[in-house]
Amino acid sequence: MTERYFVVREDLLPEGILKTEQAKELLRRGDAATVHEAAERVGLSRSAYYKYKDGVYLLEQASRESLATLSMDLEHRSGVLSKVLGILASSEGNVLTISQSIPLQGMANVVISIDTGGMGGTLPELLERLRSQDGVKRASVIGRG
């Protein structure tokens, strides 16, 4: 079954879901050191926290979760970067930034930040496509969010 997502006004949400997001915020800010401490401070059981934690996000937090930074070593040949960008475009990854080092010994490191929110496939599938491209010697995720 396909996952479905809903945007729901805060005052309509059950208390357990609201408190889960409050506990996650305490953990993100560093105001609580452990899940136990965060859950206790907002008046939530740890079992409820673990039940909801992977499915509850603030809308603005969810949009940040769709960012990924990729690092690749590319052969210094005409068209290699263009083909990489073509793979990203065909995967519906939106390129945000590109940084390329000066090629040394025929190789250049390229770091690309992408918005993966509209991608049709998964990040591991994208990496596999990039790694199989002629001229790409290495491709990995070096950051999320």
Give residue-wise pLDDT tens across range 47-97: 999 999 888 877 665 555 578 899 999 999 999 999 999 999 999 888 999
Residues in CB range of 31: below 8 A, 6 or more apart: 38
> Could you give the percent of the chain with pLDDT greater than 70?
92
66-144 has which fold? Alpha-Beta Plaits (3.30.70)
Instruction: Return d(Cα 12, Cα 81) in angstroms, integer.
Output: 48
pLDDT band at 28 (very low <50, low <70, confident <90, very high): confident
Instruction: Give the residue from 126, 90, 130, 125 showing the smallest Cα distance to 110.
Output: 130
Torsion angle (degrees, nearest 10) of CA 89, 90, 93, 97: -20
Residue 11 has, within 13 A of its CA and on its CB side, a CA count of: 0
Residue 84 has, within 13 A of its CA and on its CB side, a CA count of: 30
pTM of the model: 0.57
Residue 61 has, within 13 A of its CA and on its CB side, a CA count of: 11
Instruction: Give the residue from 129, 119, 134 showing the smallest Cα distance to 89.
Output: 119
